Amino acid sequence: MRTAEDGVWLRAAVLGLLLTAATVLAATLGLPRVDAVRTWVDGAGGAAWTGMVLGVALVLMAPVPRTAVSVLVGVVLGFGPGLALALAGGLLAGLASFGLSRTLGRAAATRLGGRRLARVDELVTERGFVAVLAGRLLPVMPFVVLSYGAGLTAIRWAPYALATALGLVPSTVVQVGIGASAGVLAERAGVLTLVSGAVAVLLLGGWALLAWRRREPAAS
């Protein structure tokens, strides 16, 4: 007969399997190409935004660098829409990862952590908001590690969600801004190449005309 203790370790095993599967998928699939994402966005209807938010959230629940995702979103959508999408997807991923870890892994972590986890619980109960906010602002701990790790502690939902929402803003603004700037430069690259080619043709044509005119008096 299955006991409550068995259920604790079963949930922990499910969490471990999910994280392992997400790691394998992140390592094998990688991020899509910019042109592929642009084609999908252009061809999608009104549900595209919901799909993109969910897609970003699912990607960020795996061990994928959030910086790369935010830059990609900026390249594809530009600064304003890209910032909104990256923030919404990041917050959703942080909340979903926290909830998944809290539901499936908290009980097992309590049994394994013992007094050490109890000390962490005391700290995050009093200063959880500051701890999570610092973790989101400072590029020390990966996004996904902090999301799942916080779910294993006793930090409450509200401080965690507020700290995550506020802490994601500065870095996301920078990352999406870099992507948007790169997208603009990429679009202008074709124009710059065309202008450079035209200038080169004019210079070569002028040089050839000047050489021809110099040779003409000498021949006469």
Q: Express each pLDDT in 37-79 by its tens digit.
A: 666 666 556 677 788 889 899 999 998 889 989 998 888 888 8
Task: Quote the tokens at residue 160.
Answer: 């965690």
Residues 6 or more apart in contact with residue 214 via CB below 8 angstroms: none
Kindly provide the residue ranges of all beta strands, DSSP E only, lying in the chain, ordered along the sequence. Answer: none
> In terms of Cα–Cα distance, which of 47, 67, 69 is closest to 58?
69
User: For residue 163, which amino acid is it?
Assistant: A
Residues in the chain: 220
pLDDT in tens, 165-182: 999 999 999 999 998 887
pLDDT at 2 over 70: no
> In terms of Cα–Cα distance, which of 106, 98, 109 is closest to 147?
98
Is 71 within 8 Å of 182 (Cβ atoms)?
A: yes
82: phi then psi, degrees, rounded to nearest 5: -65, -40
pTM for this model (two decimals): 0.75
With b for 16 or more beta-carbon neighbours within 10 A and e for fewer, the 17-39 pattern comes to: eebeebeeebeeeeeeeeeebee
For residues 79 and 188, which has the higher predicted lDDT (pLDDT)?
A: 79
- Residue 146's H or E segment, with its range, is helix 143-151
pLDDT at 220 over 80: no
Reported as a pLDDT band with limits 50, 70 and 90, residue 20 is confident
With b for 16 or more beta-carbon neighbours within 10 A and e for fewer, the 56-93 pattern comes to: bbbbbbbbbebbebbbbbbbbbbbebbbbbbbbbbbbb
pLDDT in tens, 98-122: 999 999 888 888 888 777 888 888 8
Residues 6 or more apart in contact with residue 59 via CB below 8 angstroms: 26, 31, 69, 89, 93
Averaged pLDDT for residues 196-208: 54
Averaged pLDDT for residues 124-143: 88
What's the mean per-residue pLDDT of the chain?
A: 78
What's the pLDDT score for residue 195? 44
Is 136 within 8 Å of 168 (Cβ atoms)?
A: yes
What's the pLDDT score for residue 108? 83
